[in-house]
Amino acid sequence: MVDGGPFGPASVVVFGLFSAAVWGAADFGGGLAGRRIPVVVLVLATQLVGMVVAFALAMLRAEPAPAPVDLAWAGISGIVGSAGILALYAGLAVGRMGVVAPVTGVLAATVPVLVGIVLDGLPQPLVLAGMLVAVVAVVLVSRVAGSPGSRSGIELALVAGLGLGLFNVTVTRSDEALVFSTLTVARLAATLVIAGVVLVTRRRPAIPRSLLPAILAIGVLDMAGNAGYLLAEQTGSLAVAAVLSSLYPVTTVILAALVLHERITRSHAAGIALALLAVVLIATGSA
C-alpha cells in the first residue's frame, strides 16, 4: 500500500468511488446488451476490448514487464474473476435477482475486507462504521422483487461472490508499479477461460453491428473500474477500496431510473442515502 496519492489521504475515496461509478455504468450497459446476445458472448467481447485497452495504456505509460510472480497473480485474478462474472450472470438469468445481486455484492466485498483487515489491521472507527453502512447500502440497493416459488440462485450467487471477492484480492497482489500490465494479463486469462466456455456451449460469437459501440463502451468502462479499484488499493487500504468500489449497484439503479424510467423503491432510496452516509464516514475517517 502506498501512503497518500494525487488527492492525498482522500485518494482511496476518490478512486474507490470512481471505480463504483464506472463499474455500475458498465453493468447497466451489460444488462441492456445481454438482452440481445448470449451473456457468455457479451462477456467474451467486453473482456477482449478491456484487454486491448489495458495493453495500449500499459504501453503508453511505459510500465515495466511483469515479473513471473506478478504474471501468476494476474493470471489467477483473471481466472477467478471470469468464474465470478459467469456465475453472476447465470444466477441473474435463472434465479431471483433480489437474492443473487445482494449476496454476490456483499460476499465480493467481504472477502477482500477480511483479507485487508488481516494485512492492514482494523481501520479507524469512523471508517469501520462507514464500511458497515456501505455493506447494508449494497444489500438495499440490490433488492429486486422475485416471483414466489422461483429458483433463488443462491448457489450461483455464492460462487459469483467468492470469485469476484478473490479477484479483488489477487489483482492487488502484483507490483504496485503495475496497473494496466496487471490488468492486461488478467484480461487475457479471463478471455481464454470464457472462450473455452463459448466453445463448449457451442455459442456462436456473433454480435450485431449496431451493438458494437455499446460493447466497446462496456469494455472500456469495465476496464476503467478495474484500474480505479487498483489505484484505490495502492493509495489506501484494501478493505476501504473494496467496500467503496462495491457501491456500484447504486450507479446501476440511478441509471435505470434516469434512462429506463424504472421506479426507485423505498429500499433503493434508503440504500442510496446510506451509501452517501457511508462515503461521508469513510472520507471523514480517512482524512
Please tell me the distance from the alpha carbon of residue 110 to that of residue 103, in angstroms, as a whole number.
10
Please tell me the distance from the alpha carbon of residue 226 to that of residue 185, in angstroms, as a whole number.
13
pTM of the model: 0.83
pLDDT of residue 95: 62
> How many residues are recorded in the chain?
287
The answer to whether the beta carbons of residues 92 and 207 sit under 8 Å apart is no
The answer to whether the beta carbons of residues 269 and 41 sit under 8 Å apart is no
Burial bucket for residue 210 (CB in 10 Å: 0-12, 13-18, 19+): exposed
Please tell me the distance from the alpha carbon of residue 184 to that of residue 197, in angstroms, as a whole number.
20
Which of left, alpha, beta for 236 (phi over 0: left; psi -120 to 50: alpha)? beta
Type of residue at 43? V
Q: Which three cell numbers stand for residue 114?
A: 477480511
pLDDT of residue 103: 75
pLDDT of residue 1: 47
**Extents of the domains making up the chain:** 8-286
pLDDT of residue 43: 87
SS3 for 266? helix
Digitized pLDDT (tens) for each residue of the chain, 287 residues in all? 445 677 787 888 899 999 999 988 888 888 788 778 888 888 899 999 999 999 999 999 999 888 999 999 999 999 999 998 888 777 766 666 556 667 777 788 888 888 888 887 888 888 888 888 888 887 787 666 555 555 557 788 889 889 988 998 999 888 888 889 999 999 999 999 999 988 888 777 788 889 999 999 999 999 999 999 999 988 888 888 888 888 887 888 788 888 878 777 888 788 888 888 888 888 777 65
Quick one: which of 227, 198, 204 has its CA closest to 56?
Answer: 227
Q: Which three cell numbers stand for residue 87?
A: 456465475
